[in-house]
């Protein structure tokens, strides 16, 4: 049983269908926006619950749709234990500072400087209650002449955030032909733009959902472009440690305080603690000041105990050991699941980072139908349509995604010992789907 997954789903917002009894009894029109659907993964979880009869994560389920890591010690690869307690003093019950706890800001800056040879200061760090509030804040306060460029396939929440913040954005093509890895220059193409429009790509790196990763000279070039006049970037580095070696744009930044570079990090993935809700943005001191001003009235800072727990996670000797274990464990998982999917005849377009596989079904199949079949076996994947940044936010049924055969398979929360049963269940469902199609064609 995946206990964390169970707890996660139990605390999720309910879907519109799940709230039907409330909607039917409501006689007064809500003052709140009607344009606030749940993120795509939650819709998958609700559909799974309706089909299987229990929440994803309860006994007998297989959380292949879920975007979190193992939250237990990676003993097979000498990972460190996770802290099981922190000390809370009378001072920790005060209001937190708007920009983050001084100890945590220092721990984060020390981490980047020691790992990537940067020279950032604690004043370049803003702490948030997880990664996505930081991303939301950056996009909410973009000036009107800044246009976002985002890949056609990206983390589903980006679309929700851009819609709610009314962000101007253009989609960059992700195709089989470019291996779902467009060149850096495509994010900064100014064709048809006037001189006053500034560009800010939003890129997850390593990428969610594909695992495609920009590193080395390619990442250096990306940062150089982002530091050019009229440009910036929001680089979401949640999966920074899930690559060999770990990867961060901070390594190539020349002058952070005279740039519009924003790097998002968190304790959620590599530090294995999504539940403490600690993330951060690395940016110029001027941009950190703007975000901390927002925090002073809109957020009120972040939990002191959670920040102190994060300080423990980032202790230098501990984090060095954790990074090595994360890298080895997830490289191993990525390789063996990828080989199994290739043997099944699936198209594998996965990069060399993250903890997802980006897969394509054979012609005639689609991921929505695959999911309906998986639900019956207590499993689920994430259909690529949820990752499609070009789709209507309302999920207009008339829109046909070009990614209907694609899906994301997560090996993030999977224990090593479930591999054989995972592959058996998946292959049985896939073979049954193929057989049914062949039967329909022969009739």
Rounded mean pLDDT, 298-324: 98
Judgement on whether residues 49 and 144 belong to the same structural domain of the protein: no
CATH of the domain at 198: 3.40.640.10
In a domain, residue 190? The reply is yes
Query: What confidence score (pLDDT) does residue 15 get?
Result: 45
Number of domains in the chain: 2
How much is the pTM?
0.93
The pair of three-digit structure tokens given for residue 227, joined into one six-digit string: 């530091």
In a domain, residue 81? The reply is no
Q: 355-405 pLDDT, tens per residue? A: 999 999 999 999 999 999 999 999 999 999 999 999 998 778 889 999 999
Judgement on whether residues 278 and 412 belong to the same structural domain of the protein: no
CB contact at 8 A, 433 and 373: yes
Judgement on whether residues 10 and 40 belong to the same structural domain of the protein: yes
Name the residue range of residue 373's domain: 3-76+323-442
Query: What confidence score (pLDDT) does residue 4 get?
Result: 37
Judgement on whether residues 305 and 426 belong to the same structural domain of the protein: no
**Sheet of 347-348: strands edge to edge?**
347-348, 356-360, 406-410, 382-383
Rounded mean pLDDT, 140-148: 98
Confidence check: pLDDT of 136 > 50: yes
Judgement on whether residues 354 and 418 belong to the same structural domain of the protein: yes
Judgement on whether residues 292 and 150 belong to the same structural domain of the protein: yes
Query: What confidence score (pLDDT) does residue 127 get?
Result: 99
Contact partners, residue 239, CB within 8 Å, separation at least 6: 204, 205, 206, 207, 208, 269, 270, 353, 354, 355
**Sheet of 233-236: strands edge to edge?**
125-128, 279-282, 261-266, 233-236, 198-204, 146-151, 169-172
In a domain, residue 346? The reply is yes
Judgement on whether residues 171 and 288 belong to the same structural domain of the protein: yes
Phi, psi of 231 (to 5 degrees): -120, 165
Q: H/E element holding 22?
A: helix 20-25
Q: 52-81 pLDDT, tens per residue? A: 888 888 888 999 999 999 999 999 999 999
């Amino acid at each position: 049983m995946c206990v964390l997954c169970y707890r996660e789903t139990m605390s999720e917002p309910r879907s519109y269908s799940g709230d039907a009894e409330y909607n039917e009894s409501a006689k007064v029109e809500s003052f709140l926006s009607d344009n606030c659907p749940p993120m795509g993964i939650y819709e998958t979880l609700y559909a799974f619950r309706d089909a299987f009869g229990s929440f994803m994560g309860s006994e007998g389920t297989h959380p292949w749709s879920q975007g979190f890591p193992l939250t237990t010690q990676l003993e097979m690869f000498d990972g460190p234990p996770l802290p099981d307690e922190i000390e809370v003093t009378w001072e920790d019950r005060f209001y937190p500072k708007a920009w983050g706890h001084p100890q945590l800001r220092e721990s984060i800056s020390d981490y980047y400087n020691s790992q990537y040879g940067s020279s950032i200061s604690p004043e370049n760090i803003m702490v948030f209650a997880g990664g996505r509030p930081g991303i939301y804040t950056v996009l909410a306060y973009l000036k009107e002449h800044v246009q976002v460029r985002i890949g056609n396939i990206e983390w589903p929440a980006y679309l929700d955030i851009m819609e709610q913040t009314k962000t101007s954005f253009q989609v960059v093509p992700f195709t089989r032909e470019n291996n779902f890895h467009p060149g850096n220059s495509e994010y900064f193409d100014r064709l048809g733009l006037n001189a006053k429009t500034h560009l800010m790509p939003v890129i997850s790196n390593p990428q969610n959902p594909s695992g495609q990763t920009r590193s080395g000279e390619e990442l250096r070039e990306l940062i150089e472009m982002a530091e050019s006049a009229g440009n910036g970037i929001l680089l979401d580095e949640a999966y920074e440690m899930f690559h060999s070696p770990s990867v961060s744009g901070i390594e190539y930044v020349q002058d952070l305080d005279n740039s519009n570079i924003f790097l998002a990090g968190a304790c959620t993935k590599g530090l294995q603690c999504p539940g403490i809700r600690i993330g951060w943005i690395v940016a110029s001191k001027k941009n950190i000041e703007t975000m901390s001003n927002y925090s002073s009235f809109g957020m009120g800072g972040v939990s002191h105990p959670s920040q102190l727990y994060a300080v423990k996670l980032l202790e230098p000797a501990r984090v060095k050991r954790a990074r090595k274990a994360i890298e080895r464990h997830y490289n191993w998982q990525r390789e063996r699941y990828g080989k199994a999917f290739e043997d099944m005849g699936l198209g594998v377009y996965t990069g060399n980072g993250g903890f997802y596989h980006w897969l394509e079904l054979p012609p005639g199949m689609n991921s929505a139908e695959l999911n309906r079949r998986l639900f019956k076996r207590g499993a689920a994947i994430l259909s690529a349509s949820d990752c499609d940044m070009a789709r209507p936010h309302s999920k207009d049924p008339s829109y046909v995604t070009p990614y209907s055969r694609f899906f994301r398979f997560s090996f993030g929360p999977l224990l090593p010992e479930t591999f054989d049963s995972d592959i058996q269940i998946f292959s049985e469902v896939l073979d049954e789907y193929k057989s049914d199609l062949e039967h329909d064609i022969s009739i």
